[in-house]
Structure 1
Amino acid sequence: MSSSTDPDCSEQPPLIPSIPDDVALNCLARVPWSHHPTLSLVSKSIRSLLYSPLFFTARSLLQSTEPLLYLSIRSPLSPSLWFSLGRTNDQDYPRSLVPVPTAPFSSVGSSYAALGSTIYVLGGSTNDVPTSRVWALDCRFNKWLPAPSMRVGREFSAAGVVDGRIYVMGGCVVDTWARSTHWAEAFDPRTGKWEAVPSPIEIRDKWMHASAVVDGKIYAMADRGGIVYDPRNGKWESVESELDSGWRGRACVVDGVLYCYDFSGKIWGFDGKKKEWRELRGVENGLPRFLCGATMANMGGNLVVVWEEEGRGSRKETEIWCAEIGVEKRQDGRELWGKIGWVEKVRSVPSRSSIVHCVAVSV
């Protein structure tokens, strides 16, 4: 046994001199995420704290968590490059996508689900073979971890999170009892288990191309008519024709309104209560007319739009652009208005790169 005078057993220096560590933790946990790189340079004790579960628990309890945007990009160099983007109010601190450690997998057609500070990458195909593998990106430490596999392999499935559980459906051929029974599954991170979700036989031939959660229901847009699942009562229904006909590409939900970007270069929002699509006004002059590869996310209650542009310099590169938009309902909900907070180029990537997906988490 080491003696009490052993240098290895000496007490750690205080986080902040002359202040108890619990008080210092309370203060440091409130520092905005964008300042953490600078904060980590202050001392080894603080740097160690910033990479500890205790620090993130304190941020959560103090309600000091912030939204972070994560972006997956496919490039000629790698099928799965990942980046993160945080908020900043410092005009001298440019916004930019920061590389995240390379994902330990290379799949196409994966689905994505964000739960707390973790992003789950579900299935996809490897060498044209659907996989049941699930990977989890712990966004607190930007670390990839294997998660429990689904019961069946899937590609281009629909996914959503409701009441702390991940639901995934479709993306598999129901040619066996196992695939038929587990056409829809649910994952509970508390138990680490996937369980089959009963589904009607008549919907199991659908292949998904988009999904979202609205009012606790999972909307899955399919090749022939969308479907909606309510986990609270286990009920399956067809998506209303108005939503089905207007949903284009990747979408997200902000304040109960589902937003998507259409082929005419406009952002539309669907009001589920009134069953109507409305154009998002106020952003016409702040965004380019057409957004190539546009995808969206709800970042702390604001609508974030990410798209690709051709590089303007002599180097052949693809530029990734991003805009954050505050959205609101006016005229008793009859109009949707947006106010652009900022529009910036956040990264240059190799030519012929494309955006796969973006998702926001709270860290």
Structure 2
Amino acid sequence: MSTKPSASTTTETDPNPPPALLPNLPYDIGLQCIARVPRSHHPHLSLVSKQWKSLLQSPIFFSTRLNLNSTQTHFYLNFRIHCTHFKWYVLHPNPRLVFQVPQMPFDAIGSAYAVLGPKIFVIGGSIADIPSKHMWVFDARFNRWERGPNMRVGREFAAAGVVNGKVYVLGGCLVDTWARSTNWAEVFDPEIGSWATVPSPIEVRDKWMHASAVMGDRIYAMADRGGVVFDPREKLWSGVSTELDLGWRGRGAVVDGVLYCYDYLGKIRGFDEEEDKWKEVRGLEKGLPKFLCGATMANVGGRLVVVWEAKINSKETQISCAEIEVRKDDNGDLLGTIVWSAVILSVPSGSSIVHCAGVVV
């Protein structure tokens, strides 16, 4: 079991303490002062000195931010450009500025995605029409990609989710061999850095998964027909309810235990697991378009963020985004209030949103 590093970096017995970060202040106090500065200002801080630049890229700096509750949730987007390659962007809050992040070393179609703390896991996908075993990990703290351990089988269009600090992946592979059948579901433990098989009954092993989410520490994966629910704690498998199956359209997001997506009329609805019922989110009728062509959603710091495409001419597509505060009223109905909405980016015409996620840094 690993432990978090302490925010303190100096000791009374250290014969060579690091030089002060701020004049007339102990190193620890200077570190805590800098750690409280919003991440959007870090590029400017890195210009102060070589010492500050090195500090901003150190693990102890990020652990200090975490201990001080000074982290922020940033919105990351992945686009498929001209059906050939992918680009990642990050939207910094306050002010809302969009920056491109380093490109992933390999482009894969149909990858699964999961987020754990400051890391985005890109799992599998098809490379040259061959399902891949690869996993790439983007560490938002250091703005770089790392190669993760391979899965036991190649996958494309799998489902993924994080429960209790572990990354689970379901499906996305044929079950025509013993290896694929046995490893239809796998789990990655970041503590030990390896994948392990998750036993699954043969009746749940559909090939493709078109959507997934985590609700109540259970992984919901929607297949071509129906779907499955996996409870990692109890190691139990079950099917999804008919109500959930009929109403789940497109890529959704879970906020405060409610799964949100858009319906066939282009309106945002939420699925309450306890009531097993879909409800329209009221209060958004005038502030948002009808998402007849789809939208992608993410939980960003406890709010629902929705992003969608709007073609403006033959060369460019505008990407619009809205942050929504969602809640239940006293009657259990779902209400939404738009915090802000704006065009955040223009991409080449023909581009499409693949995935978006909130990442804590």
What TM-score range do you get, normalising by the shorter chain? over 0.9
Counterparts of 1:265-344 in structure 2 under 5 Å? 265-290=266-291, 292-311=293-312, 316-333=315-332, 335-344=333-342
Aligned to 2:216: 215
2:52 pairs with one of 36, 46, 70: 46
Gapped regions of structure 1 (runs ≥ 5) = 1-9
Other structure's SS at 2:85 match: coil
Q: Does 1:201 align with 2:199?
A: no
Are residues 1:152 and 2:153 paired? yes
Supply the distance in 2 between the matched residues of 1:176 and 1:170 (Cα, whole angstroms): 14
Q: How much does 1:289 deviate?
A: 2.8
Q: CA deviation at 1:206?
A: 4.0
> Per-residue displacement from partner, 1:268-296 (whole Å, max 9, x unpaired)?
00010011111011111111233644100
Q: How does 1:63-78 map to 2 (within 5 A)?
A: 63-76=69-82, 78=84
Give the distance between the partners of 1:219 and 1:205, measured in 2 at CA. 13
Deviation, structure 1 residue 321: 1.1
* RMSD after superposition: 1.6
Q: Does 1:28 align with 2:27?
A: no
Residue identity opposite 2:166 in structure 1: R
User: How far is 1:47 from its partner?
Assistant: 2.2
- Is this contact kept in 2: 1:320–1:347, CA < 8 A? yes
Structure 1 consecutive aligned stretches of length 4 or more whose deviation exceeds 6 Å: none
Q: Quick check: 2:262–2:291 contact (8 Å CA) kept in 1?
A: no
- Output one character per residue of 1:112-161: Cα deviation in whole Å (capped at 9) or x when no partner: 01011111100000111101100000010110000001000000001100
Of 230-239 and 95-104, more deviation after overlay is shown by: 95-104
Find the counterpart in structure 2 of residue 179 from structure 1. 180
Aligned residues: 346
Work out the CA distance in 2 between the residues paired with 1:275 and 1:320: 33
Query: For residues 308-347 of structure 1, what are the alpha-carbon distances to aligned partners after superposition, in whole Å with 9 as ceiling and x for unaligned?
Result: 11136xx7211111111111100242x1011111111111
Q: State the SS of the aligned residue for 2:199.
A: coil
Q: 1:79 maps to what in 2?
A: 85
Residue 7 of structure 2 aligns with which residue?
none
Deviations 1:242-285 (A, max 9, x none): 11110001001000000001231200000100111110111111
Look up the match of 1:260.
Answer: 261
Secondary structure of the 1:281 match is: coil
User: Hey, what's the Cα distance between the residues in 2 that align with 1:250 and 1:358?
Assistant: 10
Matched position secondary structure for 1:173: coil
Q: Which residue in 2 is equivalent to 1:7?
A: none
Moved more, 200-209 or 182-191: 200-209
Task: State the alpha-carbon separation in 1 of the partners of residues 157 and 246 from structure 2.
Answer: 20
Percent pairwise identity: 59
CA distance in 2, matches of 1:83, 1:292: 22
Distance 2:290 2:182 in 1: 45
Alignment partner, residue 106 of structure 1: 107
Q: CA 1:347–1:273 in 2, change beyond 3 Å: closer, same or farther?
A: same
User: Which amino acid in the other structure matches residue 337 of structure 1?
Assistant: L
Kindly state the Cα deviation for residue 223 of structure 1 after the two structures are TM-superposed. Answer: 0.6
Determine the C-alpha separation between the residues in 1 that align with 2:263 and 2:187. 31
Amino acid corresponding to residue 37 of structure 1 in structure 2: P
- Name the SS of the counterpart of 1:58 in structure 2: helix
TM-score by length of 2: 0.92
Could you tell me how far 1:11 is from its partner in structure 2?
8.4
8 Å contact from structure 1 (residues 166, 188) kept in 2: yes
Aligned to 2:240: 239
Q: What is the distance in 2 between the residues matched to 1:35 and 1:339? A: 28
User: Is contact 1:12-1:45 (8 Å) kept?
Assistant: no
What are the ranges of 5 or more consecutive residues in structure 2 without an aligned counterpart? 1-15
The superposition leaves residues 38-83 of structure 1 with CA deviations (integer Å, 9 ceiling, x where unpaired) of 3223333222211111110101111111101111100028521001
TM-score scaled to structure 1, two decimals?
A: 0.92
